[in-house]
Structure 1
Amino acid sequence: KEHWLEQEGDGKTPVKAGSKVWVHFTVTVESSQEVVDSSRGEHMSEVGGITVYKPKNPLEMQVAPEGGEESVFEGFALALKTMTLGERASFLVPPGLAYGAAGKGKVGPGESLELNLELLGIDGAFAPPRR
């Protein structure tokens, strides 16, 4: 299975080419289940010698205009374009739509990725907070 819907979106506010979106994401290597990138969770920072944990912010990004170069791997952009505002879903991304035969960073050559996305905002319209 390549797509799991976890929470339906509004069904009427789609992601289009050129849209500005706010999205929480987690990228996991399918074979090892290692999380290689995520906008969720916390990050640590030092404030006057005190360690402070702050929640991470969602990724704010521009979807490429038609024919433009995406700022994320191809499978991420394709998955986003299937979603509507407020939707949360997971996708199995084959290597050809991820980092291919070369791999990248913690993603080995020919690895499939599990991508979990939660679409929080599109072009200034925001989903109501989840309870």
Structure 2
Amino acid sequence: MSGSDSGATVLPVVSAVAGQAPTISKPEGTPPAELSFTDVIVGTGAEVLPTSTLTVHYTLMAWSTGKIIESSWSGQPATFPLAQVVEGWQKGLPGAKAGGRRLLILPPSMGYGAAGAGPIGPNETLIFSVDIIGVA
């Protein structure tokens, strides 16, 4: 395969157009072993705290395939207490602000682990683009 000899990791790139479903480029190489996050769009609203209830739009991609598994952009945003979602969100979203878009890369241990869940395979590294619409 072309370009695979180096084993270099190429992280996904997420589009930065607020209010539109993101595009996410396919990652390459070995996924990060630790939680990774970066603000694609820096929000200016309320800051996410570990105790916050969030309203978000999100897109989920599997690292291994580069395929979108799930996206809320085809319907309504999701609202939930941050304390009730996967560990990678609990550790990767605090500090983000409403109006922002954060890219999260979750190792399997901070997502769905060896069991997987529905369309998420076992030991899958997860890529999330999360648009924070509201923080309560």
Query: How far has the Cα of 1:19 moved from its partner?
Result: 1.7
More strand by share: 1
Partner residue of 2:39?
Answer: 5
Give the alignment's Cα RMSD to 1 decimal: 1.6
Matched, 1:98 2:131: no
Residues 88 and 119, structure 1, Cα contact 8 Å, conserved in 2: yes
Query: How far has the Cα of 1:82 moved from its partner?
Result: 3.2
Partner residue of 1:23?
Answer: 56
Query: How far has the Cα of 1:13 moved from its partner?
Result: 2.3
Unaligned ranges ≥5, structure 1: 42-55, 65-69, 124-131
Q: Pick 1 or 2: higher relative contact order, CA cutoff 8 A, min separation 6.
A: 1
Aligned equivalents of 2:89 and 2:58: distance in 1?
9
The structure having more radius of gyration, on CA atoms, is 1
Query: How far has the Cα of 1:76 moved from its partner?
Result: 2.0
Paired amino acid for 1:119: I
% of aligned pairs identical?
A: 29
Q: TM-score, normalised by structure 1?
A: 0.70
Aligned equivalents of 2:68 and 2:121: distance in 1?
13
Partner residue of 1:119?
Answer: 132
Residues 86 and 119, structure 1, Cα contact 8 Å, conserved in 2: yes
Q: Deviations over 1:19-54 (max 9, x none)?
A: 22111111111110122221112xxxxxxxxxxxxx
Aligned equivalents of 1:62 and 1:25: distance in 2?
15
Unaligned ranges ≥5, structure 2: 1-10, 12-35
Q: TM-score, normalised by structure 2?
A: 0.67
Residues 26 and 39, structure 1, Cα contact 8 Å, conserved in 2: yes
Residues 76 and 115, structure 1, Cα contact 8 Å, conserved in 2: no
